[in-house]
Every structure is written in C-alpha cells, then in structure tokens.
Amino acid sequence: MTISLLSAPSRAISHLRADDDVDRTAAGPGVIARSRRSPVPRWASLVGVLATWQLASTTKLLSPDLLAPPSTIATTGWRLAGSGELGSALLVSSGRIAIGLLFGVTAGVTLGLLSGLSRWGDALLDPPVQALRTLPHLGLVPLFILWFGIDETPKVLLIAMGVAFPLYLAIHSGVRQSDPKLLEAARVLGFTSWQRVWHVSLPSALPHALVGLRQGLGLAWLSLIVAEQVNSSAGLGYMINNAREFLQTDVIVVGLVVYAVLGLLTDTLVRELERRALSWRGAGL
Amino acid sequence: MTTAPSAGTAIGLRGVTKSYGEAPVLDGLDLDIPAAQVVALLGRSGSGKSTLLRLLASLDHDVTGEVSVMGTVSVAFQEPRLLPWRRVWRNVVLGLDGPEDNRANALTALAQVELAELADRWPLTLSGGQAQRVSLARALARRPDVLLLDEPFGALDALTRRSMHALLRRLFAEHRPTTLLVTHDVDEALAIADRVLVLRDGRVRGDHLVPAVSVHDPARRQALRTTILDDLGVTPDERD
C-alpha cells in the first residue's frame, strides 16, 4: 500500500516527463519536416498551368497573336536553334554581357577596394559613387543615346553600370567590416600592410563581394534586355523586336526563356564560385 | 619610449600612467621583470591588467612614463583570433619573415602543442582548446623574447585548462621566454607562474614569488593564496 502510494505519483511524474519528450520531438524536427513536405510534387502545379495554357490555345480561347501555345514555342525554339538564328543572337548578346561585365566588375572592384581600404579613397570616391547610385541607371538610356549613339557603347555601359554599383557597395562595406580583432592580431604578428590587406581585409570582404556580384549579374541581364530593346541589329533583343513586327509571339517567348536560362546560368556559376571560395565556412576538411 | 634597462631586465616600467578620461587605469606603475621569468598578472576586471598588456604589445602608445621591452614580443589573445579563411598551418607562420614562412616551420610549432595532425584543417573546425593551442603555436613560432598571454584560457572548460597549464609549463621550460600572463584566476597563476603580481586600481598591490616547492606544500600554497586574495580585495565571504 505504502509502496503503491509512493510509487504512483513518481510513475505519474515519469510518465509526464516521457510525454514531454515525445511532444518535444514531435513539435521539433517532425513538424518542420511535415510543413516542408508538400502534399503533391512541387512541379505538379507548374505542369497544370502549362496544360491549361495549351488547352486554351487549342480551343482558340487564347489567340496565338497574343501568346503562342507551349507546343509551338517548343518547336519554334528547336527550329531557331537548328537554323543557327538563335545561336548567333545568343553569341551577340553574350558578347555584350561579357564586355559589360568585364568593365563593370573591374570598375566595381577597383573603386570598392580604393574606398574601402583607404580613408582618402573613402572621402573622395564614396560620395560621388553613392550619389550616382541613387540615379535609376536604366533611366540614363536617353542621355546615353545622345552621348554615345545607338550602337554597342551605350549597351555595354548600361550593363557595366548594372553590375558595378552593387559590387562596389558590397566590397566597400565588406572591407570596412573586417574584424578589428583580426586586424589587431595581424599587427602584433608582424604582418606587413600588404599582408594585412591580402590575408585579412580581402578575405573578409569576399563573402559580401560574391553576394554583390550575384545582385549585379541580375541587374546586368536586366540592363542588357532594356538596352537591346532600344536599338539593335543583332542579338536576342533584335530577334524579339523583329518577332513583334510579325506577331510571332512564339519567337518572343523563346527569346525570354533564353534570357532566363542565361541569367540562371550565371547565377549558378557565382554560386559554385561561392562554394569553392568560401569552403572554409563549412565543416569540410 | 625605450630606455636602457638594468642588465637582465626584459620588461621595465617607470611611472607609467594611462587614463581614459578622468580615472587613471594605470597609476604611476613601476615594474621590472627579469628575463625568462614567468609572471602572472592578477586583477579584477578594470584593474588595468589588459591595458598593461596592450601597451607592452605596442597596441597602445598613448601613455606617459617609460616603457622598455627587450627583444621581440609575441601575443596570444583571449580569443584565438585565427584567420578562418587560412589553413591552420598558414595561420601559424603567416607574418613571419619570408624564409621562415614555410610549412616545415609551422609543423614544428604545431608539434610542440601536439596538433601537427591538424595542420591542414580550417580553423572553424577546431574545438576551443585546439584553436587556443594553435594560437599558442603561432605565438611561439615567432621565437619571442617576451610572450604576452591575455587570459588565453578564459573560455576553456576546467579540464582543458589543466592540460593547457601543463603544456605551458613544458613550453616555458623549453623556450624560456619572459612571460606575462594576464589572468583573474588565482589557482591558474599559482599553477603556472614564478611570480604573481596583483594589480588593483592601476597600481601593484602585491608582488609574490611562487616558491617551486609550494606545489608539494599545500599549507604554504594556501597561505600564499590567501595573501593574494587579500591583495585583490576579495572579502572572506566572496571566497570559495
């Protein structure tokens, strides 16, 4: 009797504790996993949208002059790729992006490092760059046309500006955010000022710089698209504009898809760069 | 800043005063530390012990009085302060003169703290104790005449601390640098140092040699401990 009186509450307590544990595990990773697991595959709705689109086109509900059906877009894409038309347009546009990025990245990195590392640089460079940054750079198109005409220069410049500003900001703040404790240790350990920059400041800025580069790449593609709409005799934008004249909505969509794929591609490249350059952040050996 | 010290003196301070605003952190400090002595600097927070270490490390020049430090100085901080984006071995030798900045040198230094096998790891993958040992290897790789340690074991657990104490004693016996160890732990000071200095309100309030025999003489050790606690101004009911 005594035993049961004594043991009953203790059993109750241990029971409660056990329940607690079960609840905690259930509310912990279990719930997260459940909320992440979707009831249908995530591509299902996408396929649904495509199917509806195709159906609307076949039933003449959606005129091909407004939007071509997915099937036509796919065959047009295949045809354009086969004829070399898409390839040469792609080459021209990629060339513009490449040259624009070359100038933009060079300017962004150089200015960012100058203003981040030197107090003189910061005092002299940062105010004008910050002022320029507030201008919507795509709004500069009319001025650029007046200044540089309508061929390659204004396009490349727009792309360069698109990538340069985010990169500048990221590097500027990244360098300035270097851990003062690490800089102090470097001083005590006899680092030369060059070694302090190379081994402390630059690596501290790298994660920021890569985020800035990804943002900048997004803006660079956007700049290319806008610039190519203005006046082009070659490239993806030319292909799209040309297609508009003849109501070829299938060609327009193919062009847009190619833009999207290219953007995705460069983003993936930077991510891969991030993974390699920042491997020290992971637990890998 | 540098004056001729008496022979055999590694660190000499004369009337050193440092103040932030009104209150002096160091108040006319006089101190001589002979070469190869291991000195523990005890004091409560705000007693000026870290300030003293920073000025000996030339991290703080804004003081009055005379400071002389003989030879090369190396520092291990409270946090390991390793560069997370450089491999462990690079961290050990970075900043050394050109020909000394090599892997073999790093491995030798790491072997002394028994971590040679971690040479190629990233610092973020190390435990706290391992990172602190790497930091120590980095300080020793510079073969300093004067070694400054700023509460290097403050963040470690008790067991790791004890093994670090043993490691330090062995390294001191081997390298014989003049050492100033800043700590707030009386037992740590007694375990490592030849001499214990107590800093209070910017002045030296206690200066005790730790006899080597006291390790095996609990009564004497306890007496010294009590004296030091008195110097620190620890009231009896604050003692464990």
Q: Spell out the residues 6+ positions from residue B56 whose beta carbon is closer than 8 angstroms to its own.
A: B11, B67, B69, B73, B146, B148, B180
Q: Which residues, 6 or more positions from A5, have their beta carbon under 8 angstroms from its beta carbon?
A: none
Handedness of CA B177, B178, B183, B188 (dihedral sign): positive
Cβ neighbour number for residue A197 with a 10 Å cutoff: 19
Please report where in the chains the tokens 């680092």 appear, as a residue.
Answer: A191
Q: What is the pTM of this model?
A: 0.77
**pLDDT of amino acid B187:** 87
Mean pLDDT calculated for residue range A221-244: 87
Q: Determine, for residues B95 and A186 on separate chains, whether the beta-carbon distance falls below 8 Å.
A: yes
The confidence score (pLDDT) of residue A283 equals: 56
B21 lies in the same domain as B53: yes
Q: Is residue B154 domain-shared with residue B202, that is, in the same domain?
A: yes
pLDDT of residue B95: 85
Does position A21 have pLDDT exceeding 80, yes or no?
no
pLDDT at A71 over 70: yes
- Reading the block at residue A257, the tokens are 């898809």
DSSP structural state of residue A199: I
Residue B167 lies in a domain: yes
Q: How many CB atoms lie within 10 A of CB A284?
A: 9
Lowest mean pLDDT among A35-39, A93-97, B50-54, B172-176: A35-39
Write out chain B residues lying below 8 Å of A182, CB-based. Answer: 81, 83
pLDDT at A34: 53
Q: What is the mean pLDDT of chain B?
A: 86
Answer whether B96 touches A (CB < 8 Å): yes
The conformation of residue A27, written as its DSSP 8-state character, comes to: I
Interface residue of A188, A204, A206 to substitute, partner B, most B CBs within 10 Å: A188
- Residue B125 in contact with partner chain A when CB distance is under 8 A: yes
Q: What is the mean pLDDT of residues A100-124?
A: 95
B170 and B218 in a single domain? The answer is: yes
Band (A14; pLDDT cuts 50, 70, 90)? very low
CB of B54 within 8 Å of any CB in chain A?
no
Claim to verify: residue B44 and residue B156 sit in the same structural domain: yes
Among B143, B166, B187, the domain-final residue is B143
Which chain A residues are closer than 8 Å to B124 by Cβ? 280-281, 283
Of A129 and B174, the one with more pLDDT: A129
Beta bridge partners of B40: B181, B196
Report if residue B176 sits inside a domain. yes
**Which residue, chain included where needed, has tokens 């390298």?**
B175
Considering B143, B169, B187, which residue would you say is the last residue of a domain?
Answer: B143
B114 touches chain A (CB under 8 A): no
Residue of A nearest to B148 (CA): A188
B-chain residues near A181 (CB < 8 A):
77, 79, 81
Beta-ladder partners of B182: B41, B150
Q: Length of chain B in residues, anyone?
A: 240
Residue B115 shares a structural domain with residue B67: no
- The domain in which residue B24 lies consists of 1-72+146-233
Is residue A114 in some structural domain? yes
Distance between CA A84 and CA A91 in Å, rounded?
A: 10
Q: Looking at beta carbons, which residues of chain A come within 8 Å of B75?
A: 185, 188-189
Question: B94: which chain A residues are within 8 Å (Cβ-Cβ)?
Answer: 189, 191, 195, 199
Could you give the 3-state DSSP secondary structure of residue A247? Answer: coil
- Give the separation between CA B149 and CA A284, rounded to whole angstroms: 31
The predicted pLDDT at position A17 comes to 39
Total domains, chain A: 1
Residue A222 lies in a domain: yes
The radius of gyration of chain A from alpha carbons, rounded to an integer in Å, stands at: 28
| Model-level ipTM above the cut of 0.90 | no
C-beta atoms surrounding B115 within 10 Å: 23
The residue among B108, B57, B94 whose CA lies nearest residue B78 is B57
What is the spatial distance between Cα A175 and Cα A178, in angstroms, rounded to a whole number?
Answer: 6
Whether residues B29 and B126 share a domain: the answer is no
CA angle (A185 as vertex; A184, A190 as ends), nearest 5: 100
pLDDT of residue A40: 86
Q: Report pLDDT digits (tens) over B2-12.
A: 444 455 888 99
Evaluate the CA torsion angle A65, A67, A68, A74 in order and state its sign.
positive
pLDDT at A35: 58
According to the model, what pLDDT value does residue A99 have?
A: 96
**Does B155 lie in the same domain as B52?**
yes
* Secondary structure of B23-89 as H, E, C letters: CEEEEEEEEEEECCCEEEEECCCCCCHHHHHHHHCCCCCCCEEEEEECCCEEEECCCCCCCCCCCHH
Classify residue A282: in a domain, yes or no. Answer: no
Size of interface A-B (CB pairs under 8 A): 57
Q: Residue B222 domain-assigned?
A: yes
Check whether residue B177 and residue B119 sit in a common domain: no
Q: Stretch B152-173: mean pLDDT, rounded?
A: 86
Please tell me the distance in Å from A203's CA to the nearest CA on chain B: 7
Report if residue A32 sits inside a domain. no
Residues B32 and B52 in one domain: yes
Mean per-residue pLDDT for A262-276? 92
Is A19 domain-assigned?
no
Question: Average pLDDT over chain A, rounded to whole?
Answer: 85
B174 and B228 in a common domain: yes
Rounded mean pLDDT of A78-84?
Answer: 91
**Does residue B77 form part of some domain?**
no
Query: pLDDT band at A230, cuts 50/70/90?
Result: confident
CATH number, domain containing residue B60: 3.40.50.300
Distance from CA of B216 to the nearest CA of A (A): 38
Residue of chain B whose Cα is closest to the Cα of A181: B81
On whether any CB of chain A is under 8 Å from the CB of B117, the answer is: no
Are residues B81 and A182, on separate chains, in Cβ contact within 8 Å?
yes
Rounded distance between C-alpha atoms, residue A209 and residue B134, angstroms? 29
Helix/strand/coil for A280: helix
CA B78 to chain CA centroid, nearest Å: 10
- Give the model confidence (pLDDT) of B4-46 as tens digits: 445 588 899 998 888 887 778 888 889 999 999 999 999 888 7
Q: Which two tokens stand for residue A105?
A: 């990245």
Cα of B189 to nearest chain A Cα, Å: 24
Residue B96 included in any domain = yes
Res A19: pLDDT: 38
For chain A, give the percent of residues with pLDDT over 70: 86
B125 and B88 share a domain?
yes
In chain B, the percentage of residues whose pLDDT exceeds 70 is 95
Query: Which of B121, B127, B128 has its CA nearest to residue B89?
Result: B121
B151 with B226, same domain: the answer is yes
- Domain end among B91, B121, B143: B143
**Which is more confident, A208 or B220?**
A208
* Kind and range of the H or E run holding B196: strand B195-200
Instruction: State whether residue B122 sits within 8 Å of chain A by CB.
Output: yes
Burial of residue A82 (CB within 10 Å: 0-12, 13-18, 19+) is exposed
Task: Give domain status of residue B239, yes or no.
Answer: no
Q: B50, B72, B81, B91: best mutation site toward chain A, by most A Cβ within 10 Å?
A: B81
Q: Residue B1 — pLDDT band, cuts 50, 70, 90?
A: very low
C-alpha closest to that of A138 among A244, A257, A228: A228
Q: What is the 3-state secondary structure (H, E, C) of B97-159?
A: CHHHCCHHHHHHHHHHCCCHHHCCCCHHHCCHHHHHHHHHHHHHHCCCCEEEEECCCCCCCHH
CATH number at residue A148: 1.10.3720.10
Q: d(Cα A171, Cα B178) in Å, to the nearest integer?
A: 42
Interface probe, candidates A183, A187, A189, A197, chain B, greatest B C-beta count within 10 A? A189
In a domain, A7, yes or no: no
| Cβ count near B188 (within 10 Å) | 21
Least-confidence region, from A200-204, B136-140, B152-156, B161-165: B152-156
Whether B40 contacts B46, CB under 8 Å: no
pLDDT of residue B6: 55
Q: Cα separation of B88 and B47, whole Å?
A: 34
Output the six-digit token pair for B20: 């932030």
Whether A12 shows a pLDDT value over 50: the answer reads no
- Rounded CA-CA distance B182/B41 in Å is 5
Give pLDDT, residue B7. Answer: 59
For residues B167 and B152, give the distance between their C-alpha atoms in angstroms, rounded to a whole number.
Answer: 13
**Is residue A95 predicted with pLDDT exceeding 90?**
yes
State the pairing for strand pair B203-209/B195-200: antiparallel
Range of the domain at A238: 87-277
| Residues in chain B within 8 Å Cβ distance of A206 | 85
Q: How many domains does chain B have?
A: 2
Q: Cβ B120–A285 below 8 Å, yes or no?
A: yes
In a domain, B123, yes or no: yes
Question: Per-residue confidence at A96, pLDDT binned at 50, 70, 90?
Answer: very high
Q: How many residues does chain A have?
A: 285
In this predicted model, what pLDDT tens digit does every residue of B58-87 receive, in sequence order?
888 888 889 999 888 999 998 999 999 999
B99 pLDDT band, cuts 50/70/90, is confident
How does pLDDT run across B109-147, given as a tens digit for each residue? Answer: 999 888 999 999 999 999 988 999 999 999 989 889 999
